[in-house]
Structures are given as C-alpha cells and as structure tokens.
Amino acid sequence: MWFERNLRFDLTLLVGVVCLVGVGLVMIYSTSSIPAEHLYETKSTFFLKKQLISALVGLGLMVFCMHLNHEKLELLVWPLLAVTLVTLVAVLIPGIGTEVKGSRRWIRFLGQGFQPSEIARFALVLYLAYSLTRKQERIKSFVYGFLPYLMVSGLMIALILVEPDMGGAVTLGLIMLTMLFVAGTRISYLLGLIAAGLPATIYFMASAEYRWRRVMATINPWDYWHDAGWQLVQSLLAFGSGGLWGVGLGEGRQKLFYLLDAHTDFILSVIGEELGLVGVTAVVVLFGIVAWRGAAIALRSLSPFGSYLAFGITTMIVLPALINMMVVMGLAPTKGLVLPFISYGGSALVIYLGAAGVLLNVSSKLYEKG
C-alpha cells in the first residue's frame, strides 16, 4: 500500500521542524524587508512572500510524505538517481543553467529556480539506504561494499564541484562517509579515502585565489576585512552586538547593507544580533531536537531500510546546519550553505520539508510495532 491513514507520528520531531520553519519566516522578513525595499526597489515583503509560498508547498509535501509508505520509495531509487545526474549535468549547460555570481547552480523551471544539488542529497541518501540494506553481509568488501558507493558519490561530487559548489560537494561527501561508517564499512577504507581526498581538497581551494583568501580570512578575518573577510567580520560584529538578549527583533543594524544577503547563508548572525545568545541557543536546541529524534527513530526502526533512511535524512538536515553555524562563527571557511528550514531558499526548504515528512513516516512504524 502506497498511502497510509490514521498514523501516529513523532510529535516532538514534527513540532521541532515546524518551529524551525516559523523562526525562518520571521527572521527572513526581519533580515530582508529593508534591503528589498531599498536595494531591489520592491515591496518589503517580497522575500517573505516567496518563502511563505515555498513553505506552504513544502509543508504540503511533508504531509504527503508523512502518509507515503517509505518502503515504497525503494521503487524510486534508480529513477530519482537518474533524474539527479541528468539535472546535475544540465545545470552546467549554458542556456539551461542560470549563472549567479560566477556559479551555475540553478535551473529555471515553470518560472521557478531550483538547485539540483539539493535534490542530490536526498537522492544519495535514498540510494545508500536502499543499497546498504541489500549488502549488509558484504559491506566490508571493498569491491561490493565500498567501491560502488565511491563511484556514484564521486560522480555527483565531481559534477557539483564543476558548478562550482564546494559546500555542496563537501556535504555530499560527509553524508556518504557517515552512512557508510554507520553501516559498518571498514574504517581503513574510510580513512584511506579521507587521506586521499585531503590533497585534492587543498588543491581545489588553492587553485582559485578567492577560495584561498576565504580560507585565510577564516584564520584571521581582520586582515581581510575589506574583501574575503568582510562577511565574517560583519557576522562576528553581529554576534558581539547581540549579547545575551539581543538588540530586539527587527532592530539589528548589520543587515542594513553591511552583512550582504543576510537572509540566506548568514541569517544566524542576525538572529544572534537581534535575539542574542538566547535566540541562537533556541535555534541550536531545535536542531538538537531534530538530531535526537531522528537518531532515536533510526535506532528503533525494525526495518534496516527505514533505519538507514532515517539516519541519512537526519544527517542530511543536521550536518549542513552544523557547517553553517561553524561558518558564521568563523570556525570554517565560507561555503555557501544555507541553514536548513531557516535561510531563504525555496528549493532547499521544499526538499528539507519533504525529507522530514519521510522521516516522520518512518517514525509512524514504531508506533505500529508498539
């Protein structure tokens, strides 16, 4: 049966996700209203309305996926993987992919833009969950339990790097490593891959001056405050200005053309300025709830596929959140990763909410089993 009714879901997880979306809508209006009105010469609610539409679509998709039997998703593994690879190639083709700030990450469809790399995360999680379930006894084999995942993930990562999107590529690689580690892949294979990947990563960062300056700006942003370190300096000033309780919702100053595109990658900085340490802690706690409940669902699931799927989706949500927090606090180089559920970005929000719906469906099986 594809669809199920009268299910019981993990209410704590559901509330945590909805609260994160609510926080995102409030903060997107706070961060984007004045820039939208002055810089883009449009209404102050321009970005809020677009995000609200995406939130409604995403919540609808989440409800749909909550009642969609996740076990039937096994039938969609290969079609989704194929569509993902096609779109990752298509986005690189002039005339199909839209170039923004030197990167081709967007495809316009029916007047809306979406990032294939966002779909790639869920496609990879679904593929790994499906395949790992069938290779549990051969997971320690290099040929059968490691090499196929390395090839599929490597192809996706290579295509994303060409865009270029370092943050998306790193996230995809970490999701693969984490899921393989949990599945029981030999540690020597994973460590060998990391050791082999480090020189390539360093070369990629050093091959473009702007990427290397971002790395240097993370170490000492004040030496690069006028270019590569500008965003980080403004982010740190925002956190410093907020103190414990913040300057008040809507009263922040860094979003006034100091912290560029504050409604996207650096929205947590504005939360720190306007709502202070208390506000940032609340956001961290909400993501902690998602991580806690997601891990609990994965551990309690009686289905190997459901367990891997739940763990992968939880990693897919929590890992970018952790990286984003590290970036805005100067603990990692700027990578262009949004804060899930909170940052402005329609395609990301819809994908994350859809994935959360699948996770909630996995949780419903726990209540069925008692």
* pTM across the whole model: 0.93
Count of CB atoms within 10 A of residue 58's CB? 26
* The residue to which tokens 């409030």 are assigned: 26
Count of CB atoms within 10 A of residue 339's CB? 28
The pLDDT of residue 132: 93
Domain-located, residue 6: no
The pLDDT of residue 333: 83
Domain-located, residue 45: yes
Domain-located, residue 264: yes
Taking a C-beta distance cutoff of 8 angstroms, is the pair 12, 18 a contact?
Answer: no
Report the candidate in 285, 306, 312 with the shortest Cα–Cα distance to residue 365: 306
The pLDDT of residue 283: 97
Q: How far from 155 is each of 132, 134, 162, 320, 336, CA to CA, in Å?
A: 19, 22, 11, 20, 21
Sign of CA dihedral 327, 329, 331, 334: positive
Domain-located, residue 5: no
Domain-located, residue 2: no
Domains contained in the chain, number:
1
Domain-located, residue 283: yes
The pLDDT of residue 370: 47
Domain range enclosing 129: 11-369
Domain-located, residue 250: yes
Sign of CA dihedral 293, 295, 301, 303: positive
Which residues does the chain have with pLDDT short of 50?
Answer: 370
Which tokens hold the place of 71?
């076990």
Taking a C-beta distance cutoff of 8 angstroms, is the pair 71, 303 a contact?
Answer: yes
The pLDDT of residue 216: 83
The pLDDT of residue 367: 65
Domain-located, residue 1: no
Which tokens hold the place of 241?
């200005």
